[in-house]
Structure formats: C-alpha cells, structure tokens
C-alpha cells in the first residue's frame, strides 16, 4: 500500500514574504492621542507537482494528484493591514480608547497545497488538533478581517482600584474554515456525518467574532501582615460561520479568574481561583468535542532578593479532573494510521485532551 513511490505531500513548498510598515503617533489635542499604522506585504506561495505511493483506486491517489498537478500552484497575495487608535482622556482617572483595524492573512502551505483525500494521508495534515483529516485548496484567498473595539479604563483617584473593559467585533471575509468531503465522488459531502472523524477540505467562508475582555484590581488593606489586594479577569468570545451558521472551531468559552494577592516586604503570595464554563458552542462540520465546565485552585509564593528571585507553586491543588476546551481531540486511543479505527470499546472519537492534574513547580531567576 505504501510503495513503490514516495508520497509527496507538499513538494518543494515555498512561502516568500516581503513587507514594509510604518507607524505615526501624535497628541492632536490636550485630551486626544492618536496612533496610525499600516503594513504592506507581498506573499508568494508555490508548490511543485506531486505523486502518491501508487495507483490504488481505493485511495484515490492518482485522481487527486492529477487534479492538483493541473491546478495553478503559484499565487502572489498583496496584503494590506491598517490600524487606527484614538484615546480620549476624560480626566486623570478615566479614558476611552477607540480602535479600528483591517488585517489580511495569506493561507498557510498546509491550507493550500495538501492534496490527498485519502483518510490516512489527510489525518497526517491535521494541524488544528481535532482528529479530522484535512487537505487544501490552491485557490484559497487571503482572510480579510475588519475589527472595531472600545476600551474603557477607569481608576480610583488614589489608584487603589481599577477596571478595564474592551468589547470588540470582527467581520472576516474569506475566513479559512473547513467542510466535510466525500472522497469517493470528490465533492463536498451532501450529508453531514456526526460523532466521528471526517475528511475535511479547507475553504473560504465568511465569519464574525465578537466578545469582551474585562480586568480589574482592588487594594483591600495594609496591616502588620502586609499588603492585601484582589485581581480578576473575565473573557467571553463568540464566533460564528455566517455561511453555515455553525460556531467556529476552537473558541474559548466564558472564563474568569480571581486572585487574592499578598505582599510583605520581599514576599509575594497568591491564591487564585479559575472558572471556565461548559463549551457547548462547537463547530458542527468538524464534530468538535464539547467539554464540561470546571474550576481550579492555584497557589504560589515567591521571594525577591536584589538579583535573585525564587517562586514555587501548586497548580490544580484539588487535582480536578477536567477537559481542556481548546485542547482538541485525544488521539492516543487506537491506531493512528487510519481514520475512525475502532477498538473493542468502539470508535475513538469523542475524547477530549485532559487538563494537567495537580502539579508542583519551582523557578529561580537571576538578573545581571
């Protein structure tokens, strides 16, 4: 099956990038500060003709390589990025920052020049960790995103507390997503197959992403034991494919953290609680795995000398068993040379990568 030829996955793939950028900033009024940036990039990608191991019809290697070799495998993208930020200081404690950005991204060599719809070959091109098999499209266009954001920054007059919130919205044209593929007839699958790994083809579709990031801090008290304070953060992101209506792959669910911080001379101590909501909004075409919510307790302590600092800690103190929302699929359960291979217990689809259990660490830093 794997001979007599050498399987050429990406043959002499090249990516050449030439770019230039500039930045300009100015305080245009006593309370207004602006910053503008622009970048131009010429990105050329190319790949040579390929061949598979052999002409076995069941793996479609001759058909797929012939189609790929007949395609235009050299593309030059002229990408333009532009950003504009304006900051308005309401007073010494409050400010508002408005941002707009246009970004363009050329697809990777794996997104453009992998070519085989054969299950075994395609799963070796999975660079996203979801267990599916992938192949590319030489005609993929660069992604083009347009983003608007606002940042509200408010601090107390004595700097004993502060809060910063940044809501944002992005629209992405030609977002590089993936669709299920019917290898037998070499076209997009008309029926979506659930609860298993599938062969996927990268494709351009439109998407949108919005969310909010919040950080806050608060001094609590100072006493004979030292200085005490709280820090916290909250993040929410929602991403959706506007062509299919599916949620985007690998979007972090609602998550938050709060930490009690203690400082006494050169000692630094922290008790942190991390909470992550259940991941129920998943990519339907990719059969992304849902994960349950969880909470973690972390402890750390450190001491600073003039040039040396030592820190030690325990992550996941309670040894919580949980699945990583962005960890992808656990592929160690079964044979990895094929797609959807079964053990006596059934398909290996549906197991998420677990998070790290209780772990201890210690670090020493020396500055010179």
What lies within 8 Å, CB to CB, of 103 at 6+ separation is: 81, 143, 144, 145, 147
d(Cα 55, Cα 91) in Å, to the nearest integer?
A: 73
Q: How does residue 344 score in pLDDT terms, banded at 50, 70 and 90?
A: very low
Say whether 201 sits in a helix, a strand or coil.
strand
Q: Which helix (H) or strand (E) holds 239?
A: strand 226-241
**Strands 133-135, 199-223: parallel, antiparallel or unpaired by DSSP?**
parallel
Annotate 144-166 with three-state secondary structure: EEEEEEEEEEEECCCCCEEEEEE
Q: Are 186 and 60 in contact (CB under 8 A)?
A: yes
Lowest-pLDDT range of 75-89, 121-135, 300-314, 346-360: 346-360
Per-residue pLDDT of 35-86, as tens digits, reads 999 999 999 999 999 999 998 888 999 999 999 999 999 999 999 999 999 9
**Strands 143-155, 161-182: parallel, antiparallel or unpaired by DSSP?**
antiparallel
Phi/psi for 70 (5° steps) reads: -85, -5
- Full DSSP string of 1-60: ---SSPP-SSTT-EEEEEEEEEEEEEEEETTEEEEEEEEEEEEEEE------S---GGGT
Q: How does residue 334 score in pLDDT terms, banded at 50, 70 and 90?
A: low
DSSP state of 65: H
What pLDDT score was predicted for residue 342? 53
Q: Which helix (H) or strand (E) holds 368?
A: none
What pLDDT score was predicted for residue 185? 95
What pLDDT score was predicted for residue 341? 67
How many other C-beta atoms can be found within 10 angstroms of the C-beta atom of residue 56?
12
Spell out the domains of the chain, with CATH numbers in brackets.
Answer: 14-366 (2.40.170.20)
d(Cα 131, Cα 123) in Å, to the nearest integer?
A: 7
Q: Which of 286, 312, 313 is nearest to 297 (CA)?
A: 313
Q: How does residue 347 score in pLDDT terms, banded at 50, 70 and 90?
A: low
Q: Which of 225, 361, 357, 355 is nearest to 299 (CA)?
A: 361
Reply yes or no on whether the pLDDT at 133 is more than 60: yes
What pTM did the predictor assign?
A: 0.91
What pLDDT score was predicted for residue 96? 98
Tokens representing 171 are 């629209």
Tokens representing 288 are 């992304």
Per-residue pLDDT of 84-131, as tens digits, reads 999 999 999 999 999 999 999 999 999 999 999 999 999 999 999 999
Q: How does residue 332 score in pLDDT terms, banded at 50, 70 and 90?
A: confident
Per-residue pLDDT of 197-255, as tens digits, reads 999 999 999 999 999 999 999 999 999 999 999 999 999 999 999 999 999 999 999 99
> Percentage of residues in the chain with pLDDT exceeding 90?
91
How many other C-beta atoms can be found within 10 angstroms of the C-beta atom of residue 6?
11
Q: Are 266 and 242 in contact (CB under 8 A)?
A: no
What pLDDT score was predicted for residue 331? 83
Lowest-pLDDT range of 27-31, 169-173, 291-295: 27-31
Q: How does residue 336 score in pLDDT terms, banded at 50, 70 and 90?
A: low
Reply yes or no on whether the pLDDT at 178 is more than 90: yes
Reply yes or no on whether the pLDDT at 343 is more than 90: no
Adjacent-strand bridge partners of 237: 211
What lies within 8 Å, CB to CB, of 104 at 6+ separation is: 41, 77, 79, 80, 81, 142, 143, 144, 145
- Full DSSP string of 100-128: EEEEEEPPPHHHHH-----HHHHHTT--S
What's the whole-number mean pLDDT along residues 153-166?
Answer: 96
Burial label for 131, CB within 10 Å (0-12, 13-18, 19+), is buried
């Amino acid at each position: 099956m794997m001979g007599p030829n050498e399987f050429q996955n990406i043959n002499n793939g090249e990516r050449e990038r030439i770019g230039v950028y500039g930045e300009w900033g100015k305080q245009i009024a006593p309370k207004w500060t602006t910053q503008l940036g622009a970048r131009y990039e010429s990105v050329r990608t190319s790949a040579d003709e390929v061949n598979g191991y052999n002409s076995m019809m069941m793996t479609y290697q001759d058909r797929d390589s012939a189609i790929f070799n007949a395609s235009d495998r050299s593309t030059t993208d002229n990408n333009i990025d532009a950003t504009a930020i304006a900051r308005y200081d309401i007073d010494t404690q409050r400010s508002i920052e408005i941002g707009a950005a246009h970004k363009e991204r050329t697809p990777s060599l794996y997104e453009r020049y992998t070519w085989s719809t054969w299950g075994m070959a395609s799963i070796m091109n999975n660079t996203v960790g979801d267990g599916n098999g992938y192949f590319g499209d030489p005609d993929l266009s660069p992604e083009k995103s347009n983003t608007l954001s606002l940042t509200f920054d408010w601090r107390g007059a004595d700097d004993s507390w502060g809060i910063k919130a940044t809501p944002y919205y992005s629209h992405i044209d030609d977002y590089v997503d993936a669709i299920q593929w019917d290898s037998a007839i070499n076209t997009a699958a008309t029926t979506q197959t659930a609860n298993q790994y599938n062969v996927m083809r990268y494709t351009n579709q439109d998407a949108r992403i919005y969310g909010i990031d919040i950080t806050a801090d608060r001094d609590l008290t100072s006493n004979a034991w030292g200085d005490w304070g709280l820090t916290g953060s909250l993040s929410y992101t929602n991403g959706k494919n506007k062509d299919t209506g599916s949620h985007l792959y690998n979007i972090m669910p609602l998550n938050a953290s709060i930490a009690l911080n203690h400082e006494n001379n050169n000692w630094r101590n922290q008790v942190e609680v991390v909470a992550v909501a259940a991941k129920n909004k998943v990519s339907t075409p990719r059969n992304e795995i849902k994960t349950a919510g969880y909470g973690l307790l972390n402890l750390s302590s450190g001491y600073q000398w003039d040039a040396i600092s030592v820190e030690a800690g325990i992550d996941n103190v309670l040894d919580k068993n949980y699945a990583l929302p962005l960890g992808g699929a656990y592929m160690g359960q079964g044979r990895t040379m094929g797609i959807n291979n079964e053990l006596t217990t059934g398909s290996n689809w549906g197991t998420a990568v677990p998070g790290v259990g209780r772990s201890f660490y210690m670090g020493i830093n020396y500055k010179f």
